[in-house]
Amino acid sequence: MGFAVFIHRADSPYEDSPATQYQFPSQYLSRVSASVGDWIVYYEPTKVSGSRGYNAIARVERVVPDPVKPNMYLALIAAGSYLPFPNPVPFMVEDGLAETGLLNAEGRVSGRAQAAVRPISPKDFDRIMMRGFAEDRPVLPRVGEPETPFQLDEPQAPFAFEQERERVETLTSRVIRDRVFRRVVLRAYNERCAVTGLKLINGLGRAEVAAAHIRPVERNGPDIANNGVALSGTAHWMFDRGLITFTDGLDIVISRHVNDRDGAMGLINQTGRLIGPQLERDRPHPAFLAWHRENCFKH
């Protein structure tokens, strides 16, 4: 086992789905196989417009031959392990390369930086993860969550987990993953309820809005921005109980089971559509919306 960097870009010709699989040619088989059972970091190249740099982590469960394309393989991602960084980490950070292992003996960036799959040291993995999850302005929990279940603010000394068990417990903790998911979703929606259009911040600086999974975690829904939507209390309650849903075009649909339809209509913003994130990649994915309509919505 060993940590690795997987290069992935949104316009990739490969059949990648970062939360579930990573497709790659046979030339990278040994490198990918070495990461089975361990964590990888997704990286988007700097030449990509609006590059997110190092932007997420995931754990590789196994590698299998691609059943459709010869000489291609799939790295299958462990269910529920994918987690995006609230703060994508650039290639260059304030004290040099984020991935220090790319430096050659002369202190220059080596050719390894061009490799689509490459090993990364535990120290560099922790260094990147620490920056990706750091909280410069915490999106505070609405109610009932610990203020600081895991402190990722950068300390004076280099950060590193003392034991592998400590890293695994941190990255798989539901409390921590829920907190990170909340940050990712609320920032994508600018802390505004996508149904009502209201952006309410209480006196303690907390956004009165929740990050709702479209496909729940317990039903194999990933902690990814396009499986989330920012909803205020009543809208969240209605969504979870199938009293409202969204079309692929983001129109808001009210169930015929709602007993106060006029009141429900009054909750919805004037456009009648979900107020989605500005970035296309953060908008609800049709596959998750379809799952909600088919499995939750009361027709």
CA distance 86 to 76: 23
* Other CB atoms within 10 Å distance of the CB of residue 165: 9
pLDDT of residue 184 exceeding 70, the answer is yes
Question: What gap in Å lies between CA 265 and CA 244, rounded to an integer?
Answer: 11
Name the average pLDDT for the chain. Answer: 87
Q: pLDDT of 190-210, one tens digit each?
A: 999 999 999 887 766 677 889
> Per-residue pLDDT for 186 more than 90?
yes
Percent of residues, the chain, with pLDDT higher than 70: 87
DSSP per-residue letters across the chain: ---EEEE--TT-SS--BTTTEEEEEGGGHHHHHTTTTSEEEEEE-TTSTT--EEEEEEEEEEEEE-SSSTTEEEEEEPTT--EEEEEEEPSEETTEESSGGGB-TTSSB-GGGG-SEEE--HHHHHHHHHHHH--SS----SSSS-S-SS--S--SSPP--SSHHHHHHHHH-HHHHHHHHHHHHHHHTTT--TTT----B-TTS-BS-EEEESS-GGGT--S-GGGEEEE-HHHHHHHHTTSEEE-TT-BEEE-TT-S-HHHHHHHS-TTSB----SSGGGSPPHHHHHHHHHHT---
- Could you tell me which residue, 131 or 166, shows the higher pLDDT? 131
Q: Which domains does the chain have, with CATH numbers?
A: 4-134 (3.10.590.10), 186-295 (no CATH)
pLDDT in tens, 39-70: 999 999 888 777 889 999 999 999 999 999 99
Share of the chain above pLDDT 90, in %: 66
Q: Write the pLDDT tens digit of every residue in 101-128.
A: 999 888 899 989 989 999 999 999 999 9
Q: 165: pLDDT confidence band, cut at 50, 70 and 90?
A: low
pLDDT of residue 105: 86
Residues 126, 123: Cα–Cα separation, whole Å: 5
pLDDT at residue 136, as a whole number: 61
Mean pLDDT of 135-156: 48
Residue 282 has pLDDT above 50, yes or no: yes
> Confidence band (pLDDT; 50, 70, 90) for 154?
very low
Confidence of residue 137 (pLDDT cuts 50, 70, 90): low
More confident residue, 144 or 42: 42
What local confidence, expressed as pLDDT, does residue 207 receive? 78
Q: How far apart are CA 25 and CA 252, in angstroms?
A: 42
Residue 170, pLDDT > 50, answer yes
